[in-house]
Amino acid sequence: MTDLIRNTAAETAAAIAAGEVSAVEVAQAHLDRIGAVDEKVHAFLHVDTDGALSAARAVDAKRAAGEELGPLAGVPLALKDVFTTKGVPTTAGSRILEGWVPPYDATLTRRLKDAGVVILGKTNMDEFAMGSSTENSAFGPTGNPWDLSRIPGGSGGGSAAALAAYEAPLAIGTDTGGSIRQPGAVTGTVGVKPTYGTVSRYGLIAFSSSLDQGGPCARTVLDAALLHEAIAGHDPLDSTSIDAPVLPLVAAARQGATGDLTGVRVGVVKEFAGEGYQAGVMQRFNESVEILRGLGATVVEVSCPSFSYALPAYYLIAPSEASSNLARFDAMRYGLRVGDDGTRSAEDVTALTREAGFGPEVKRRIILGTYALSSGYYDAYYGSAQKVRTLITQDFARSFADVDVLVSPTTPTTAFPIGERADDPMAMYLADLCTIPSNLAGNSAMSVPCGLAPEDNLPVGLQIIAPAMADDRLYRVGAAVEAALDNQWGHPLLEEAPAL
């Protein structure tokens, strides 16, 4: 692999700005990499070769004209196929949107383009972001570049796999119950769920509107911080957007990289351990806690008893919102249309289209959500789940009164084999056991690689959780752990990696 592929996003941007390499050369190197390995990985659903090279040429023209380039200008990126992209197919991993080409950009997409980021294409995902393995994509599963027979996490497995396979130095995901952090953990990459409302959801195809949050994915904490700053900020087109300044995330990452966490208080979540956790995951997590101590942090155990109810609460709230959001896919306005032969009613066409266009997991969640919202059951199910959500938020508030961040394993296990949990929804849902509470509370969280599990030599993620509007704490602590572990374990994929 050339340095153009190995370089971090920060290194690539600096080289382009200095004229050491052109943005077109960088884009072409990554397009060539995609051409060489993506048939095996299947990280991308659509590669926008012409669009990427055109964007790269625009960056080169600005530099040639003497214009100052932004901190990520010319850096390639893989975009999860749940953000609308003008003129480029957007499917959300579903047959029901196959062939749909949006007439507008999501705010996040527009901000990437404004920053000079080169969007290589759209990445594979669980259909409508419903899943933990990217096996629920209507267009086939994505492989984990560490071991192509294993899952790359979900729902944003395509974005994480693209990073791990060196197909892109940056990626975008969405996190509804862990769909950025869990893929980051099992692919050895960095994934961040920003505070809810700090990254615009306008143009994000909704799964669960009170939980969905776009965020950065990268191979280093600093790269994630650079991307996070580029996409964050108030958006009047999003009614849930928070009107507040973007935090100094890059500065926090640079501070953390110095390796000094003196004065930082870290809470270890008592409830995220025990039965069901892989021994190697816990071993690497416990070692990470000792690293935090060695960097000067004060570490204490914290109990959040309501977290044990997070999983069932989530699987009532998220499907309930999904059943409402997905009602818009009715075969009348856009996307797939089945059975419209001139003899059938609109209702019949809608039913036939939804039967053909939605996959089993999406149907399962629509049915569950519709039931939970139905007359006579609303208070018992959806209403009770919202009460649990309040209790979880209160647990976080009590904890953050005593500590600056919380830590836990990101996932209970390393990447499991493709197909192993396909017929066991409950086992699949348990992959998000540690990540869901942050979505319910709306606060920020990061997964940063913390080593390889000794049983299977697969990546383990350390989850760092911060209060809402304190995302900068993630970057300080995450960069410190990353710096301490640097060179102790290799990058996810070198050229000789057996998976590719």
Residue 133: CB partners within 8 Å, gap ≥ 6? Answer: 126, 141, 151, 152, 153, 154, 157, 416, 418, 421, 422, 428, 431
Residue 18: burial class (beta carbons within 10 Å; 0-12, 13-18, 19+): exposed
Known catalytic residue at 155 = yes
User: Distance between CA atoms of 323 and 268, rounded to whole angstroms?
Assistant: 36
DSSP state of 143: P
For the chain, report the end-to-end CA distance as a whole number of angstroms. 12
What 3-state DSSP class applies to 168?
A: coil
Residue 10: CB partners within 8 Å, gap ≥ 6? Answer: 71, 220, 222, 223, 226
- What are the helix (H) ranges across 236-309? 249-256, 279-294
Helices and strands: H and E segment counts in the chain: 17, 11
Burial 261-281 (b: 16+ CB within 10 A, else e): beebebbbbebbbeeebbebb
- Active-site residue (options: 22, 80, 306, 444): 80
Contact 174, 155 (CB under 8 A): yes
Known catalytic residue at 375 = no
Which of 487, 461, 5, 500 has the alpha carbon at shortest distance from 193? 461
Q: 313 — phi, psi (to 5°)?
A: -65, -45
Which of 97, 98, 47, 96 has the alpha carbon at shortest distance from 76? 47
Cis bond upstream, residue 155 (ω within 30) = yes
CA distances 135 to 127, 418, 422, 447, 487, Å, are 9, 7, 8, 21, 32
- Active-site residue (options: 155, 208, 241, 306): 155
Contact 177, 185 (CB under 8 A): no
- What are the helix (H) ranges across 146-278? 157-164, 181-187, 221-231, 249-256
Q: What sign results for the dihedral spanned by CA atoms 9, 15, 18, 22?
A: negative
User: Distance between CA atoms of 84 and 100, rounded to whole angstroms?
Assistant: 10
- Active-site residue (options: 137, 159, 179, 447): 179
Known catalytic residue at 80 = yes
User: Distance between CA atoms of 33 and 298, rounded to whole angstroms?
Assistant: 44
User: Distance between CA atoms of 300 and 401, rounded to whole angstroms?
Assistant: 13
Residue 346: burial class (beta carbons within 10 Å; 0-12, 13-18, 19+): exposed
Catalytic residue positions, numbered: 80, 155, 179
